[in-house]
Amino acid sequence: MPSSGPTIQQTEVVGMVLPIAAAMVTSFRLFVRMRQCRLWLDDAWAALAMVFNIGFLIVLWLYLHDYARYPQDTRVALYYMSTQLFGLGIWSSRISILFTVVRLTFPGSLRRWLVRTAVAFIVTWMILFAQIFWICEAESGWKTRSRPQCDLGRDVAIALIITDVLSDTILILAPIRLIYRVRLTKAEKIRLLSIFSTSSATTIVSLAHAYYVLSDGGLKEVIAAAVEVSVSLIVANLNVVVAFLFHISTEEQATPAPLGLSSIITIGSQPTRKRVQCDPLSLSTMEAAIEIQTIKLDDFNVSPDQAAGRDDKHTEVASLDTLVEPGLFYVA
């Protein structure tokens, strides 16, 4: 009677197609940020996650394809490498999302809390990997199998569920305070929250992976791991990709603002003279401009001194341009 589970060939296809798709999305994200001279820590973590994802693809291929020709110790090492690269890819993607929120946050307690959370994510990955290593080494009978795969059991599954749900909840809730502190239309708030809420997709696939870990799913567990690490990386890039596409659509529909004699503070409006800045944490040089324009917040990346001198009564309007285009600060 044929097995109802996936075959090695099917597992190889999933383990190759999804990481390649995730790498393509990440490459596009890095291209957009590089073209805008806005590469920062969130992009560095996304690039690192892509490297781990590609490494996971290579190790998984070696682990599944013609594994019989490798010595037994090499097969065991390939299994450990796959689990390590899986964890590195997952948590690097989450840290990338976290630093995307950090770069949009004014210096203060919230920003410090987010950075500490990123450190906590790193520590969490280290604990999870140590737990896997401890369990697998305690019961080493799996190392004699033709294709070694450790039975991680209930403890690892519970730890994965708890850490995945908590971390993804943090990634969903972290930008809410940021978004609601600025004045936006209801549609704009929904659009921004929808982008950051895609972290819930990672939770869904992580729960499926934890289920197969709990039930010793064999190749099903391998497929679930490949899906989770790839979806996590794609989700980490959605905020930049969607913002870029939205920016293109809004540029096509934009109309010039009427000129007038009144002067207001304009953040991110069309300048009379434009200077290219490649520092993602700094704003352009201050210039004088006389015009009537809706106040528009295109970049939250201001220095602490600028943030401290800001009038809280000024109207703030955020847009998705924040994620893809450098902000310009002009005072009339």
Give the per-residue pLDDT at 233: 93
Sequence spans of domains, the chain: 8-252
Token reading at 107: 């210096």
DSSP E strands in the chain: the ranges are 266-267, 329-330
State the Cα–Cα distance between residues 16 and 21, nearest whole angstrom: 9
**DSSP structure class, residue 329:** E
The closest of 57, 132, 146, 45 to 96, measured between CA atoms, is 45
pTM for the full model?
0.73
Interhelix angle 41-64/72-103, rounded to 10 degrees, is 160
Cβ count near 34 (within 10 Å)? 12
The closest of 189, 239, 208, 221 to 79, measured between CA atoms, is 221
Regarding beta strands 329-330 and 266-267, do their DSSP bridges make them parallel or antiparallel, or are they unpaired? antiparallel
Residue with tokens 């307690």: 109
Task: Say if domain 8-252 classifies as CATH 1.20.1070.
Answer: yes
Stated length of the chain: 332
State the Cα–Cα distance between residues 122 and 125, nearest whole angstrom: 5
The CA-based angle 151-152-158, given to 5 degrees, is 145
User: What value does the mean pLDDT take over residues 168-197?
Assistant: 75
Convert the pLDDT of each residue in 254-307 to its tens digit: 545 444 433 333 323 334 344 445 544 443 333 333 333 333 444 444 444 444
Q: Which pLDDT band, with edges at 50, 70 and 90, does 243 fall under?
A: confident
Residues 6+ apart with CB under 8 A from 285: 275
The closest of 239, 227, 220 to 89, measured between CA atoms, is 227
Cβ count near 113 (within 10 Å)? 12
Give the per-residue pLDDT at 230: 93
Q: Which pLDDT band, with edges at 50, 70 and 90, does 195 fall under?
A: confident
Out of 88-97, 184-193, 200-209, 229-238, pick the least confident. Answer: 184-193
Tally of CA atoms within 13 A in the half-sphere of 250 that contains its CB = 12
Q: Which pLDDT band, with edges at 50, 70 and 90, does 70 fall under?
A: confident
